Amino acid sequence: MRILLTFSILLITLYAHAQVAIGKASVSNNSVSLEFGNNQNRGVILPWVTNVNSMTNAVNGTIAYDLASLKVKVKYNTGWKDLTIDATGKTTDPVSGVNGITIQNTASEADGAKVSIGTPTSTPGILVLEDNNKAMVLPKVASPERNIVNPSPGMMVYDTTTKSLAIFNGTVWSFWKA
């Protein structure tokens, strides 16, 4: 019962403020919808989907970990773009696991699951930042390839050392600069 009450209060808080800080007291400014605390050597783990190509209602900007290709992908007008370029082609299947260790169960996807930050709309997604004038600030980690001890496939952070987006595909980190 206590968990249900806590979850209900969290959801009401998300709808009421339209700005959320996780791991810190408040967001840094009015242009932030969702912000994470710094220097905790943790990242955001993206939702894992069976196959991004089967997501017919995905809107531009949707980011997910694709179990079919074991890659992090982002939706564009022309299709899905791979954000986890790996020249070796080797990644880790989170269901089969590494060295026989499973890191994800085989539970089915909950198509209707959704949390909105901002004014809720019909935009599909698991976590939808609804405001069109606010952004998410990723967790900031210095050298995540060294400081995040056990990253999960689909993890995403901002690398403060290289000043780039860092994405883990289950085997290697990919770094993206503007």
pLDDT digits (tens, 9 = 90+) for 14-55: 454 468 777 778 887 887 777 777 767 888 888 888 899 988
- Which residues have a Cβ under 8 Å from the Cβ of 11 and sit 6 or more positions away? 115
- Angle (CA) 101-54-97 rounded to 5° is 5
Please report which helix (H) or strand (E) contains residue 2, including its range. helix 2-17
Task: Measure the CA–CA gap between 86 and 64, rounded to whole angstroms.
Answer: 17
Whole-model pTM? 0.68
- Taking 50 as the pLDDT cut, the residues of the chain under it are 5, 14, 16-17, 99, 101
Please report which helix (H) or strand (E) contains residue 7, including its range. helix 2-17
Please report which helix (H) or strand (E) contains residue 140, including its range. strand 140-141
